[in-house]
């Protein structure tokens, strides 16, 4: 039963990552950072202009942090919350599910599923 709970947590986590489009948002952090460094090195901008642009970039990065961190917390918290409720109801053990989640078979399977999902996503993007 613990491995069924672990499978539920892992699959729900992956589903929520996709639903919240968190993986697609991550490269935007690098884009904003790259633009910020370009603006800092731009010899045509004076210090006031650079400062104004850094504020815009900082707000953008803070927003991305909030979205990515909040989405990740929700993607982890939602399935674990379900397991917690099931544990309180005596249906399964939260401790055993957490032990199963940290076992080599689940970690390897989860990693393989994530890699396959990314690979399939890239293949579909290149095919269209």
* pLDDT confidence of residue 63: 96
Contact 37, 53 (CB under 8 A): no
Which distant-in-sequence residues (6+ apart) come within 8 Å of 82 by Cβ?
A: 8, 12
Q: Residue 121 has what pLDDT?
A: 74
pLDDT in tens, 71-96: 999 999 999 999 999 999 999 999 99
CA dist 2 and 8 (Å) reads 10
Q: Which of 112, 22, 29 is nearest to 73 (CA)?
A: 22
Of 67 and 11, the one with more pLDDT? 67
Could you read off the pLDDT of 14-63 as tens digits, one per residue? 899 989 999 889 899 999 999 999 999 999 999 999 999 999 999 999 99
Q: What distance in Å separates the CA atoms of residue 43 and residue 38, rounded to the nearest whole number?
A: 10
Is the Cβ–Cβ distance between 12 and 78 less than 8 Å?
A: yes
Structure confidence by residue, pLDDT tens digits, 50-72? 999 999 999 999 999 999 999 99
Q: What is the pTM of this model?
A: 0.76
pLDDT score at 14: 85
| Spans of all domains in the chain | 2-127
């Amino acid at each position: 039963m613990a491995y069924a709970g672990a499978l539920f947590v892992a699959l729900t986590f992956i589903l929520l990552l996709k639903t919240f489009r968190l993986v697609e948002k991550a490269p935007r952090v690098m884009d904003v950072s790259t633009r910020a460094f370009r603006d800092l090195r731009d010899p045509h901008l004076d210090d006031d202009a650079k400062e104004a642009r850094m504020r815009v970039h900082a707000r953008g990065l803070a927003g991305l942090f909030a979205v990515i961190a909040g989405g990740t917390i929700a993607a982890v918290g939602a399935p674990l919350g379900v397991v917690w409720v099931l544990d309180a109801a005596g249906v399964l053990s939260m401790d055993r599910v957490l032990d199963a989640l940290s076992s080599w078979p689940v970690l390897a399977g989860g990693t393989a599923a994530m890699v396959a999902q990314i690979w399939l996503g890239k293949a579909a993007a290149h095919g269209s």
